[in-house]
Amino acid sequence: MKKEKVSAVTEERQSYGYGGKPMTKGRYIRIQMKRTWQGYVMVAPFMLMFIAFTVAPVLISIALSFTSFNMLEWPEWKGLSNYIQLFLADDLFITAFANTMLFAITTGPASFILSFIVAWFINELSPRMRAFVTVIFYAPSIAGTAYLVWGIFFQGDIYGYVNGWLLKMGLINAPIDYFRDVRFIVPLCIAVALWTSLGTSFLSNIAGLQGVDHSLYEAGAIDGIKNRWQEAWYITLPSMRSILLFGAVLSITGAFGFGGIVNALCGNPSTDYVAWTLQHHLTEYMSTRFEYGYASAIAVVLFAIMMTANMLVQKFLSKVGQ
Partner 1 sequence: MARKIRVRNHRVVLNRSKGGDAGITIFLILLGIVMFLPMWYLIITALKPLGERNITPPLLYVMKPTWQNFIDLFTNMNSTWVPVSRYLFNTIIISVAATFGCLVLGSLTAYALSKIKFPGRVVIFKLIQYSLMISSTVAGITNFFIFVALKWLNTYWISIVPVWASTLGLYLMKQFIDTNVSDEMIEAARIDGAGELRIYWQIVMPLVKPAWLTLLVTTFQSVWNAGASGYVWSEQLKTFNTAIANISTVSVGASSAGSVVMMSVPIIIFIINQAKIVETMGSSGMKD
Contact characters 11-50, partner 1, x per CB under 8 A: ------------------x--xx--xxxxx-xx-xxx-xx
Distance CA 12, CA 23 (A): 9
Query: Residue 188, class by beta-carbon neighbours within 10 Å (0-12 exposed, 13-18 middle, 19+ buried)?
Result: buried
In the bound state with partner 1, the residue whose beta carbon lies nearer, of 84 and 142, is: 142
Within 10 A of 170 (CB to CB), how many other CB atoms are there?
A: 7
In the bound state with partner 1, the residue whose beta carbon lies nearer, of 19 and 34, is: 34
Select from 96, 118, 185, 266 the one that contacts partner 1 (CB under 8 A).
118
Question: Does 121 help bind partner 1 (rule: CB under 8 A)?
Answer: yes
Question: Does 275 help bind partner 1 (rule: CB under 8 A)?
Answer: no
Question: Residue 50 forms beta bridges with which residues?
Answer: none
Question: Does 211 help bind partner 1 (rule: CB under 8 A)?
Answer: yes
Question: Residue 141 forms beta bridges with which residues?
Answer: none
Question: Does 96 help bind partner 1 (rule: CB under 8 A)?
Answer: no
Find the part of the chain contacting partner 1 (CB under 8 A) among 73-81, 86-94, 156-164, 178-186. Answer: 156-164
Select from 189, 237, 252, 266 the one that contacts partner 1 (CB under 8 A).
252
Select from 93, 112, 116, 147 the one that contacts partner 1 (CB under 8 A).
147
Question: Does 77 help bind partner 1 (rule: CB under 8 A)?
Answer: no
Within 10 A of 233 (CB to CB), how many other CB atoms are there?
A: 13
In the bound state with partner 1, the residue whose beta carbon lies nearer, of 181 and 291, is: 291
Question: Does 172 help bind partner 1 (rule: CB under 8 A)?
Answer: no
In the bound state with partner 1, the residue whose beta carbon lies nearer, of 7 and 54, is: 54
Question: Does 295 help bind partner 1 (rule: CB under 8 A)?
Answer: yes
Question: Does 230 help bind partner 1 (rule: CB under 8 A)?
Answer: yes
In the bound state with partner 1, the residue whose beta carbon lies nearer, of 272 and 289, is: 289
Select from 4, 6, 53, 79 the one that contacts partner 1 (CB under 8 A).
53
Query: Residue 102, class by beta-carbon neighbours within 10 Å (0-12 exposed, 13-18 middle, 19+ buried)?
Result: middle
Distance CA 79, CA 297 (A): 11
Within a 13 Å sphere around the CA of 32, how many CA atoms are in the beta-carbon half? 12
Question: Does 64 help bind partner 1 (rule: CB under 8 A)?
Answer: yes
Chain positions 176 to 205 lying near partner 1, rule: CB under 8 A, are 195, 198, 200, 203-204
Chain positions 299 to 318 lying near partner 1, rule: CB under 8 A, are 299, 302-303, 306-307, 310, 314, 318
Query: Residue 168, class by beta-carbon neighbours within 10 Å (0-12 exposed, 13-18 middle, 19+ buried)?
Result: exposed
Question: Does 146 help bind partner 1 (rule: CB under 8 A)?
Answer: yes
In the bound state with partner 1, the residue whose beta carbon lies nearer, of 19 and 126, is: 126
Residue 256: partners with Cβ closer than 8 Å, 6 or more residues away: 100, 104, 108, 278, 302, 305, 306, 309
Contact 194, 110 (CB under 8 A): yes
Select from 6, 19, 79, 135 the one that contacts partner 1 (CB under 8 A).
135
In the bound state with partner 1, the residue whose beta carbon lies nearer, of 12 and 272, is: 12
Find the part of the chain contacting partner 1 (CB under 8 A) among 13-21, 79-87, 91-99, 218-226. Answer: 218-226
Question: Does 228 help bind partner 1 (rule: CB under 8 A)?
Answer: yes
